[in-house]
Structure 1
Amino acid sequence: MSTFLPKDVEDGLRDAVIANQRRQSRLRVQNGEESYKVLKMWSNGFSVATEDAPHLRGLVDLYDAGRHLSQALIVASEVGDGEMRYEFKRSTLAADKAPVDFAEDPSAPVGLLPRL
């Protein structure tokens, strides 16, 4: 039995896997006004389909559906198997409130009630 597959069949299978990953992925990377689906993400990088991705570089934002996950400084690392892989130079988690530069008192009032 031979494990050899013709080049067209290999390409078709790879394209089908990438299309499935693109359809199932909720993650996206945004560079300015442009947005691209993220196929895979790991601790120090992510990958985007080769036909979708330009040669991204610099500051980008990562989103999970509509939720802002992080802002990252990226650089392209390699191309392979229909994916363009990027690595993080720096990744900062997004916060829903601004950081404070003082220690908060745990017994401080949460709000004020009006006088009646």
Structure 2
Amino acid sequence: MLESLPKEVRDGLDAARKRDERRKSRLRVKVGEAAFKVLRFWDDGFALDAGLSPAKLRGLVDVYDGSRHTFQCLIVASSIEDGELLCDFKRVTAVADRAALDFWRDENAPVGYLTGPKRN
């Protein structure tokens, strides 16, 4: 259907679609001090706007949802297709807000202990 439209109209529609995707997305990738909006995110990768991001992206990056740090990803490959930088990652790790426990916590354990009145 879009093939019958003039090239200028198709380019305008593509630009409007990309602008709308950038506006809707809250996810962003942070590499050092630079941050880039995520256009799409799937199980083993994500897409960035190729015009606003580096030509190749590899290594460990942080993914934020607004101001909340959500993932750390290890990018192993990136390629440019249709104006998008497609990044595939080998590992994605959810970021926890507290340190992992190094002991087993019983579900029925008391929260605290009450002591009786002090005797002299």
- Superposition TM-score, scaled by structure 1 size: 0.85
CA RMSD after TM alignment: 2.4
- Deviation, 1:2, is 9.1
Q: Which has the larger radius of gyration?
A: 2
What CA distance in whole angstroms lies between the structure 2 residues aligned with 1:46 and 1:37? 10
Preserved contact between residue 15 and residue 82 of structure 1 (Cα < 8 Å): no
How do residues 80-91 of structure 1 correspond to structure 2 at under 5 angstroms?
80-91=81-92
- Deviation, 1:105, is 3.0
Preserved contact between residue 62 and residue 73 of structure 2 (Cα < 8 Å): yes
Identity %: 51
Amino acid at match of 1:9: V
Residues 61-86 of structure 1: CA distance to partner in whole angstroms, max 9, x if unpaired? 01111111110101343222221110
**Unmatched runs of 5 consecutive residues or more in structure 2:** none
- Superposition TM-score, scaled by structure 2 size: 0.83
- Deviation, 1:112, is 6.6
Find out whether 1:12 has 2:12 as its counterpart.
yes
**Unmatched runs of 5 consecutive residues or more in structure 1:** none
